[in-house]
Structure 1
Amino acid sequence: MAGHNQIKPANDIEESYPLSPMQQGMLFHGLSAPHSGVDIEQVVATLAEEVNVAALHQAWERAVERHAILRTGFHWGGSQPRQEVHRHVRVHFEQKDWRGLPEREQQSRLDAYLQAERRRGFELSVPPLMRLALFHVGERKHILTWSFHHLLLDARAIAALLSEVFNFYEAFCQGRNLELPPPRPYREYIQWLQKRDWSAAETFWRKQLKGFTTPTPLVLSRSADKAPEQHRGHTVQQVILPATEAAKLRVVAKENGLTVNTLLQGAWAVLLSRYSGEEDILFGVVRACRRSSVEGASSTIGLFINTLPLRVRVAAETRVLDWLKELRAQNLAMRDHEHTPLVEVRRWSDVPPGPPLFESIFDFQDPSWDAVLRAQGGKFEQRVFAIHNQPNFPLWVDVYCGAGITIKSGYDQGRFDDAAIAQMLGHFQTVVKGMVADLSQRVADLPLLTDAERHELFVAWNGTQADYARDKCVHELFEAQVERTPNAVALVYRKEEVSYRELDNQANRVARHLRSLSVGPDVTVGICVERSAEMVVGLLGILKAGGAYVPLDPAYPKARLVFMLEDSGAPVLLTQQPLQDRFKFQSRDCNVVCLNALRHATPKTKAESTLRTTVSPDNLAYVIYTSGSTGTPKGVELPHRGLVNLLAWHQRTYGVTPQDRATQLAGFSFDASVWELWPYLTAGASVYVVDDDTRASAPGLVQWLNARKITLSFVPTPLAEETLALPWPEHAPLRAMLTGGDKLHRRPDPDLPFGLVNHYGPTENTVVASFAPVAPADGGGNTVPPIGRPIANVQAYVLDRLLRPVPAGVPGELYIGGDSLARGYRNNPALTTEKFIPHPFSGKPGERLYKTGDLVRWLSDGNLEFLGRIDHQVKIRGYRMEPGEIESRLNQHPLVRESLVLAREEGHGPKQLVAYLILKQPAPPATKELSDFLRTRLPDYMVPSMFVFLHAWPLTPNGKVDRNALPAPEESNRQSRRTFVAPRNHLEETVAKVWSDVLGRAPAGIHDNFFELGGHSLLAAQAISRLNESFNIHLSIRSLFEKPTVAELVREIARMMSRHNAQRAPAITRIAREAYRAGRPSPEAGIELAKLS
């Protein structure tokens, strides 16, 4: 044992030859991250028998003597790695006696041992790359562990080698020798590969991958409200299809000319398609590569497998059987080209440099290697074998076929929740069962959700039925309140107070005048006034006349105001004297009524009495104009019914009483103003209209709220986030701050003296569709509040592009149904038909859903998480991403208060991510600090190239962040520059020449990025090896990932040359190992060859 990791003398080398492409990828990662556990395979054999330890040890030594691959070490000499077969190696074999320990303690120790073995890894240049341990755990019971590097063997070889070892063992136990035919050397396979002409393969793979530019995303990543969990490692979950189901699956496959592999690959493709929302998806598949290989490959001990991309177009309208037959044909067509080096396939694809072709792999084994052993009978029937492995991928699926079918999913726990993987495996089973049940159905109709999930999505989370005054209109509810509290204060603006009776009388005066101008049900009335008590009088007067008000903000440009007035068809405009001139040039007849004059006219008894109207809950209450994608505002028509439902929900949820004091703060052309008025004025509370100066200042607003003893206040999101960062008195009168209108980026501090409630809702659903009380920040990175659950009588559906409900955790578009929907868009039936669709899950005639255009997902607790606008999704260097996820991580930085991420194009250059930040302190951190912070939480391609620091957000008139007003980033904020600059000195010329030779392209500029020029893991290793030879230095591979431009790398080389005496360049095995102790390299660079897939 003592000498098992010592360097062997040169004359101990029996032969040397190159690596297979698969081995090259594994070698690179093994050198780069030797203690990550990646590609360390561990077989655990439970032996219910007495064990002759000496015979077992001897059997392993005989197997190692017979098979050169088990005596092989791996070196990177010069530009290409080589495997060297040693004549003599010593097999590491240890024993432990655990018979005195409880079974639970034995298992705990075994788990710890296996984990330690994985972390220990191997010195890849020193064979054998395997270790054995035997644990005596009971009478006639042992556990044998065999840890080895995947560089040596694949599953077929594992079974063959174990069979051979135990055959030797049985012979040695019986005192006899066992003579076996000489094995075929693995070298023959390498020589066969070296002679291959890859030109036909290049044609095949270019055709297969043409037009595929964006890797299929793995969307079951952790929710944005959960902090990343670093260093949790990988784990495995599994499900088992029972023997009866497995048998039925085999029968269906055979009867229809399919294989079980094809059927299960198809199910995985459907799953990835449903999760990602993509029709054209791609994942990795493991090919055995023995049938199409060199003669004798089927019995050769070695690594023959290859991981290659399988591109699947999930044709929704095609019959499942026809689609699976196409997939089967595609698999067969790959056979002639399944030995192609993955790095070459990646290079021939249309995916831009940087991202991998795929991040998930599918491995099918039929029969599984352990089933092959059991089939030999004898003692193998009582021996139980299991394997533990960790490929270099975030997510992998291994399928093992025996009597039943075992489906194992391994995953990176830093990226995926355990519950999400369990759910994914359940969905996989559901899709498989759906295929077996009916191959004639469309692919689109394959089931995904379980019955329990459907109940959760449709009933448990959408059971929002509640009573409200379905036969009443808003003004009628106000009039009833006037009778209950006529002298209570209804309205306050500056120093003016208006009682309920006074407000009713003044509004009646306006209503009667409007009635004389033929205003009635569904007749629109424009109202353009400054913030004042008259604003509320006018709105209420329009409702009392039976009409629908159209709020027009005086701050809008004249042309926009005139368009809105004309488009609404309003025959009457209520305004104030100073504003009348703004409408003199309108093109059609419209009665302009001076509201302040009408309000203060000499009262007449009849003029102040309540009008009786024929307006019903289905008639319009108001029309709000919102920005349109074409640049033309669109008018949203909202009836009384939805508004009455809103105010009833609001009053129940927030316990509104006549003692409450609420604010009207939003611009009154913003639909939140509707919500700020009517729930309170129909409950006897007092509404305080906030003046413009106070609205513009967060400190001023806090002081104003406290001075007036406000108890309930809606504050638009950006302003709310400012106020939350300010000090509040311990006994502030405010009991709840309501916010909405934009994405809420932060949670309140624990000592905030009032509750914070986040709201979400498009104008098309009467202001509010969902709400979520926001728990204080817990210090654990739980920073992003959800948008909550649907309010009363509103339903929320998260659907894919084919209007199928998606599971919890999977992004989809939010559709809203229920009693609060708008009637549609004013004078725009085409847009109404596009956005308000027939309800696909309701049998009631006329029921509709509103298509929001918002990307959300259900969380496991039934809350909705807002991910961003579908039209805000960005695609950078082949990756599709949600800026909201980057913002969520940025907001976890201790110095960042709020953030917003955009994709911007500068001139003719490529899109780059730009992060806009509002900080908690005046002095900004270095951009490298922010970049490094994000790189520990996100893939490199999601780290912004530029950071821009702002004091406050530019806002739209409605209080939302004005993205168009965000400043362009300064050149000094850029992390990279793309202008070509030629080498300026000998060092830069040497490095650029090495890059040019390695990359096979024109000379690089000093600011060019190695990986953006097409570099990958193997080329990086070659470049570093050549640079070390040229300069006789100890440059690490890590240096190239951290300093990927010529200029940056030359500075590092110059520093090293000045600090160290020239010395012989070390073997790259040692360099890589030392370099990667700090962590794995950037995935942006596309480093690991096994991940360049």
Structure 2
Amino acid sequence: MQLRGFRIELGEIESALSTHPKIQESVVLVVDESGHAPQLVAWLVADQTIPVEDIRDWLGNTLPLYMIPAAFLFVDSFALTPNGKLDKAVLPKPQTRTIGSTDTYVAPSTPTEQTLTEIWQDVLSIERVGIHDSFFALGGDSIKSIPVIARARKQGLSLSLLQLFKDPDIQSLARSIDAHDSDDIETVITAAFDLISEEDRKRLPNDVVDAYPLSMLQAGILFHMQLSPESRIYHDVHSTILEVDFDADAFIKAIETTLARHPVLRTSLSLADYSTPLQLVHRSAPANFVYRDIRHMSEIEQESCIDSWLREEKDSLFAFDSAPLIRFSVHQRTDTQIEFTGAVCHVVFDGWSENSTITELWDLHFQYASGESVCPKALPGTYRDFVALERSIISDTKYRTFWKQEIEGYEPAALPRWPQEYRSTELTPVCSPQQHVSEELTHHLTALSSDLKVPLQAVLLAAHIKVISMLMGSQRVCTGMVSHSRPDIEGGEAIKGLYLNTIPMVMDLGGHTWKSLVLHIYEKEQRLFPFRQYPMGQIKKDTGQEFLFESAFGYVHFHVMEELYRTGKLRRISETRRWAPTDFPLMSVFIHDPIEDRLSITLDFDAAELSPKQIESIGEYYFKTLATLTKNPDALCSSRCLLPHNEMQTIARLNPVIEVQATQYAVQNLFDQQVARTPDTVALIEGDTTTSYRVLQEDANQLANYLIQIGVKPGGKIGICLARSTRFVTAVLAVLKAGAIYVPLDLDYPPDRLAFMSDDSETLVVLSDNLSHAHLPDGIARLILLDETSGDIAACDDTSPDITITVDHPAYIMYTSGSTGVPKGILIPHKAIVRLVINPDYVSLDATETILMLAPVSFDASTFELWGSLLNGGQLAIMTDNLSSLEQIGRAIHGHCVTTMFLTSGLFHQLADEDLQALAPLKQLLFGGEVMSVPHVGKIMQAHPDCTLIHCYGPTENTTFSSCYTVKEEDLAHQPLPIGRPINGTQMVIVGPDLHLCPIGVAGELCLGGVGLAMGYLNRPTLTAEQFIPDPFSAVPGARLYRSGDLARILPSGLIEFVGRIDHQVKIRGFRIELAEIEVELTRHAQVREAVVLARLDTPGSKRLAAYVVAEPNTTLTSEILKQFLTKTLPSYMIPLAFVVLDELPLTANGKVDRDVLPAPAWGRISAAAEFVAPSTEREKIIARLWQEVLGGEAPGVTDNFFENGGDSLSATRLISRIRRACDVELPLRVLFDTPTIREVATAVNDEDDREEFEI
């Protein structure tokens, strides 16, 4: 048989009962004593001392919950009919209990308990209620609570809705009532016209019988409706096929009677004619009803006709100044079937009002159709009373204080948006079709709420909050919760109006099991309950938070229609077609169908903000979450991945099984093999000099053998302080051949930083030369000057040393900025380099490629440049000047026929602006490091269509590149560019704060795995353990993930998009910088009390560092003082270009530095007090104009310093390039660094001009 939608075999239940050792016989039947609540009942011949709970537990081991009887009765034996069959007539009458009630029945013992028990039994249609039964476990909800409260008060009990929610069982509730423990909102009763001024009343039309102001929610809805009338939000339309003996005349009478009974149905809105917008209640209003007989049409014609009608209904907005703001229509399909359509303006009606109105209309229809007398009951109040109550609540400071405290510390966040190309072109809100929850899952959810003695709404709200947490990528979230505020007076459920409010629900999911989350949510609902009527609009005003949440949760159970359908006079044939758009980007509505007793989910969304495909995915998250929380309520809600199968497949494609070829060979072994293949091929190009693979091999072998001769052992650290050069490449190879680890020491670093790097890495030897060693601090490790020891080196053997190391051996240590103010060394193994350049899937590397070595030796892009060429038989063209101009780069590319190179984002943008033709010979251009300007990418793509543009991403901890993306022409229409998919040997996952996979489109921390991972941070075991964690997604023993601290998301296409940094780490000119390190250094200055550093993008495409400092009292700080101080410890790219001295740092409400309100520096002039000297010569004016074009800001004076006014090395190259073009001179870039004022540069231009003339 079928029971509540489940197929049940009664014999299966009896069989399960017979296995119990103390039960001899059993009979199970379906009983429906109330006429509308059929339940399973079991009669037992058994040991009558068995507790009922034990029997339920016994059955629970083998049967689903819906097959466990609601009641168990003991009998001595079963009576039989003369035919030998069970005599059902003599079975004792059951005292039925609802399914899910597990408490042993305890009868009421006090007068209050007795009264409450009788009321519950009547309202909930249950024959027997015990004092331990939960109101919500028995099927109660907020609407059913209204008659309970009204009847209790009528019988002298002081009962409030809050009490019922706090104490949902008879015993606790009775104690609360007897203790007079009521603290709910009082009901307010007003008279007509009480809420308007006498002047406004005198001006009212004669047919107006009442008038009162709008509620705050109504005002808000009207604002959104008028702001975008084309969106048709809050214009609700629904349509259903019904089987009914329809009488049009009777239905019109029903409408007229309903209009006469309910003032809100006779209400219009006057928004500008009075001192304040008013609702006008008219004496009468027309029955807005259309009847159309379409029985003569074919079924296809009928559908077309009704579809057309529904489109008209959706487009036909109500005129606010004309009552009623509701209308109905009927299309007669057949003699017994109609299409029933309703349209309502949500500004005056909520969902319960609409459904109770429809129920009332049909009840009246049947009464009029059958000739019965009709006498509607008078209503106990009107919506005017709600408006009056709201006004009194707004003036009560306790509500304002409560809500300020409730949302204190919460930082609002937006729902994730998929890129524009995935969104609908539809600009109006769209309502998704209802998605049905299975009958079995509905039952499990109901059973869980019953077990926990909480409303079903609390369980569903827990699922909703978990889904929002997944979407926000945060454990702490805020969502809107729709609550009703219908008056809890007798007949209150019959009053029509907009008795709703959407209140903020801030929740932290950390550490919760599903069960504890549900209970915590229910407890929070109880705490919010007394304050639920404080309008959301007022909360926004009080807190100054216009934007608190973009999602809202609603639960509807319109059981008022249940009795209507149970009469058998009306039957629903089709699903209700529904259109109910709101102004929320996402409104999740859980609907409990009173007819089928099952749940469905409707996701209303703004198609201009969220994608239909995205909404489809969100629906799957809900179903996965609902199923998971019912299967194991005691599990942590963060313990399982809740992504659907299709998304898991997309993520799996980003994490293939890693197979890296040739990893059995260390880097120097692979180089040896390449030399054997192409010994006489050019390996290095430096200026006009070339070096073959054979010569490079021999030179490196001699140096390696020399190092071994002086005591260098495998695993020793060797510093290399050399400029980019053939000598540098030889030194690197030699260190590896000696089995040692190379540590690049950048010539541009301050001596203190170089000293720290040398000490921290415990370098045994530092290789340098006469030109470079002057940069090194005194007292550094053993220094070997290669030009002075060249004779000793040349005397060494030129064959490869007999040193064997594995691919797991470290190859180099590269230092990056550290958040504590101390640089951190990253240890990179050989196999990571091999994975980067051997058989790559992101770029073509072979003997035909010439790669330009442009990156600083301390920047890990040099790893790609160096080994990408030398391990594949290609040529490495070396740029020797660290301050190479755009012209020099262009000449090198053309002069050496460079085919492949890497550019940082800033340099890429400059070349796109200043010298597109410099890139003409390239076949492959890799770029990245910071956010790319898509228009600049487009310029290069258009100028060089045959050049493959490859967007790269990767931290040093995963060896240069982790992912790459080959840019396509269609990508130019979108911003930003994706960073692509992981390269060979790499895995990428995006996780939330609980280390669970993020849904598609949701930003989370990008974690990297695979062969490219560093071994860790040198001498920093704690930091290594924090950043390099065991891979929770891998079955490979020892697999690790690096937590990059980068925010990224997976796009629906399966590509990855970079979003930003979790912390305040940034990249400047390709260098990763911890802003905190600069802040630490600033605060070490004796006159600096506080400091904050930002990477500002005040000029598009130009990210610059700005420092904000608070000085100690009675001190004077200047940018020059601070810059000189930082230059002692930080490299040039970490020196802020602007310094702003503030009296204090602005703080957020949470006490954190409010970085968003820090003022933009005056990049054009750092020191307003400095004397301004205007350009006087023609050359000075030209240079000043070009300066302003490059830097922006105010017009510069001729004595202003280029770098103090926002200039950096990248903008310097741009300025010098423009000066060369405008003045037609070959001006070295060094000029601007040595003489950074307009006057000095103008002088240099004149000198160069004179020199060129003299040469001519």
Query: Where does residue 459 of structure 2 map in the other structure?
Result: 263
From 441, 444, 467, give the equivalent of 1:245: 441
Query: Where does residue 1058 of structure 2 map in the other structure?
Result: 866
Pick closer, same or farther for the CA change 1:734–1:136 going to 2, 3 Å: farther
From 761, 784, 804, give the equivalent of 1:614: 804
Is the CA contact 1:189–1:297 (under 8 Å) kept in the aligned structure 2? Answer: no
Residue 856 of structure 1 aligns with an amino acid whose one-letter code is A
Query: Where does residue 126 of structure 1 map in the other structure?
Result: 322
Equivalent-residue separation in structure 1 for 2:583 and 2:431 (angstroms):
13
**Mapping of 1:444-523 within 5 angstroms?**
444-445=638-639, 447-457=641-651, 459-523=652-716
Query: Where does residue 41 of structure 1 map in the other structure?
Result: 236
Residue 828 of structure 1 aligns with an amino acid whose one-letter code is R
Equivalent-residue separation in structure 1 for 2:553 and 2:678 (angstroms):
70
Q: CA deviation at 1:503?
A: 0.8
Equivalent-residue separation in structure 2 for 1:926 and 1:168 (angstroms):
75
Is the CA contact 1:41–1:388 (under 8 Å) kept in the aligned structure 2? Answer: yes
Query: Where does residue 688 of structure 1 map in the other structure?
Result: 877
Q: CA deviation at 1:519?
A: 1.6
Equivalent-residue separation in structure 2 for 1:783 and 1:907 (angstroms):
39
Query: Where does residue 363 of structure 2 map in the other structure?
Result: 167
Pick closer, same or farther for the CA change 1:696–1:78 going to 2, 3 Å: farther
Pick closer, same or farther for the CA change 1:447–1:558 going to 2, 3 Å: closer
Equivalent-residue separation in structure 2 for 1:382 and 1:583 (angstroms):
87
SS at match of 2:828: strand
Q: CA deviation at 1:479?
A: 0.9
From 935, 939, 962, give the equivalent of 1:769: 962
5+ residue gaps in structure 1? Answer: 1-7, 875-882, 884-889, 928-947, 958-1093
Pick closer, same or farther for the CA change 1:329–1:560 going to 2, 3 Å: closer
Matching of residue 363 in structure 1 with residue 551 in structure 2: no
Residue 241 of structure 2 aligns with an amino acid whose one-letter code is T
Query: Where does residue 1018 of structure 2 map in the other structure?
Result: 826
5+ residue gaps in structure 2? Answer: 1-202, 1067-1074, 1076-1095, 1109-1139, 1147-1153, 1165-1185, 1194-1203, 1214-1256
Residue 911 of structure 2 aligns with an amino acid whose one-letter code is T
Q: CA deviation at 1:94?
A: 4.5
Query: Where does residue 591 of structure 1 map in the other structure?
Result: 782
Identity, % of aligned positions: 26
Query: Where does residue 209 of structure 2 map in the other structure?
Result: 14
Matching of residue 327 in structure 1 with residue 516 in structure 2: no
Matching of residue 343 in structure 1 with residue 537 in structure 2: yes
Equivalent-residue separation in structure 1 for 2:753 and 2:641 (angstroms):
49
TM-score normalized by the length of structure 2: 0.66
Pick closer, same or farther for the CA change 1:108–1:630 going to 2, 3 Å: farther
Q: CA deviation at 1:529?
A: 1.2
Is the CA contact 2:393–2:399 (under 8 Å) kept in the aligned structure 1? Answer: no
1:913-969 CA-to-partner distances (Å, cap 9, x unmatched) read 689999x99989999xxxxxxxxxxxxxxxxxxxx9989885899xxxxxxxxxxxx
Query: Where does residue 262 of structure 2 map in the other structure?
Result: 67
Query: Where does residue 720 of structure 1 map in the other structure?
Result: 908
Q: CA deviation at 1:501?
A: 0.6
**Deviation larger for 474-483 or 266-275:** 266-275
Residue 553 of structure 1 aligns with an amino acid whose one-letter code is D
From 740, 745, 760, give the equivalent of 1:567: 760
**Mapping of 1:536-935 within 5 angstroms?**
536-583=729-776, 585-586=778-779, 590-598=781-789, 603-604=794-795, 607-650=797-840, 653-692=842-881, 695-697=884-886, 700-702=888-890, 704-725=892-913, 732-746=920-934, 747-749=937-939, 751=942, 752-777=945-970, 781-872=973-1064, 908=1144, 909=1146, 911-912=1155-1156
Q: CA deviation at 1:695?
A: 3.7
**Mapping of 1:144-163 within 5 angstroms?**
144-163=340-359
Residue 576 of structure 1 aligns with an amino acid whose one-letter code is D
TM-score normalized by the length of structure 1: 0.75
Pick closer, same or farther for the CA change 1:529–1:926 going to 2, 3 Å: closer
CA RMSD of aligned residues (A): 3.9
Pick closer, same or farther for the CA change 1:224–1:55 going to 2, 3 Å: closer
Is the CA contact 2:423–2:609 (under 8 Å) kept in the aligned structure 1? Answer: no
Q: CA deviation at 1:704?
A: 3.6
1:884-915 CA-to-partner distances (Å, cap 9, x unmatched) read xxxxxx99x9x966779999896545643689
**Deviation larger for 566-575 or 11-20:** 11-20
SS at match of 1:753: coil
Pick closer, same or farther for the CA change 1:627–1:899 going to 2, 3 Å: closer
1:1010-1033 CA-to-partner distances (Å, cap 9, x unmatched) read xxxxxxxxxxxxxxxxxxxxxxxx
Query: Where does residue 942 of structure 1 map in the other structure?
Result: none
SS at match of 1:630: coil
Query: Where does residue 439 of structure 1 map in the other structure?
Result: 633
Pick closer, same or farther for the CA change 1:775–1:112 going to 2, 3 Å: farther
Is the CA contact 1:205–1:345 (under 8 Å) kept in the aligned structure 2? Answer: no
1:135-160 CA-to-partner distances (Å, cap 9, x unmatched) read 46677654333222112222222122
Equivalent-residue separation in structure 2 for 1:450 and 1:34 (angstroms):
37
Matching of residue 307 in structure 1 with residue 502 in structure 2: yes
Equivalent-residue separation in structure 2 for 1:529 and 1:901 (angstroms):
28
Query: Where does residue 589 of structure 2 map in the other structure?
Result: 398
Pick closer, same or farther for the CA change 1:271–1:801 going to 2, 3 Å: same
**Mapping of 1:1012-1031 within 5 angstroms?**
none
Equivalent-residue separation in structure 1 for 2:852 and 2:522 (angstroms):
65
Q: CA deviation at 1:181?
A: 2.8
SS at match of 1:692: coil
Q: CA deviation at 1:513?
A: 1.3
Equivalent-residue separation in structure 2 for 1:901 and 1:375 (angstroms):
72
Q: CA deviation at 1:375?
A: 3.8
Q: CA deviation at 1:69?
A: 0.8
Residue 662 of structure 1 aligns with an amino acid whose one-letter code is I
Is the CA contact 2:265–2:324 (under 8 Å) kept in the aligned structure 1? Answer: yes
Equivalent-residue separation in structure 2 for 1:225 and 1:436 (angstroms):
37
1:835-864 CA-to-partner distances (Å, cap 9, x unmatched) read 222222335443322111111112222222
Pick closer, same or farther for the CA change 1:954–1:545 going to 2, 3 Å: same
Q: CA deviation at 1:191?
A: 6.9
1:4-60 CA-to-partner distances (Å, cap 9, x unmatched) read xxxx98112121123334333323334444443121121213245675545544433
1:959-993 CA-to-partner distances (Å, cap 9, x unmatched) read xxxxxxxxxxxxxxxxxxxxxxxxxxxxxxxxxxx
Equivalent-residue separation in structure 1 for 2:382 and 2:1190 (angstroms):
59
Is the CA contact 2:684–2:691 (under 8 Å) kept in the aligned structure 1? Answer: yes
SS at match of 2:518: helix
Residue 806 of structure 2 aligns with an amino acid whose one-letter code is S
Structure number with larger C-alpha Rg: 2
Is the CA contact 1:232–1:413 (under 8 Å) kept in the aligned structure 2? Answer: yes
SS at match of 1:325: helix
Is the CA contact 1:718–1:953 (under 8 Å) kept in the aligned structure 2? Answer: no
Equivalent-residue separation in structure 2 for 1:238 and 1:255 (angstroms):
27
Q: CA deviation at 1:686?
A: 0.8
Equivalent-residue separation in structure 2 for 1:688 and 1:205 (angstroms):
69
Equivalent-residue separation in structure 2 for 1:572 and 1:99 (angstroms):
98
Residue 569 of structure 2 aligns with an amino acid whose one-letter code is G
From 264, 272, 279, give the equivalent of 1:83: 279
SS at match of 1:805: coil
Pick closer, same or farther for the CA change 1:420–1:600 going to 2, 3 Å: farther
Is the CA contact 2:379–2:491 (under 8 Å) kept in the aligned structure 1? Answer: no
Equivalent-residue separation in structure 1 for 2:672 and 2:881 (angstroms):
29
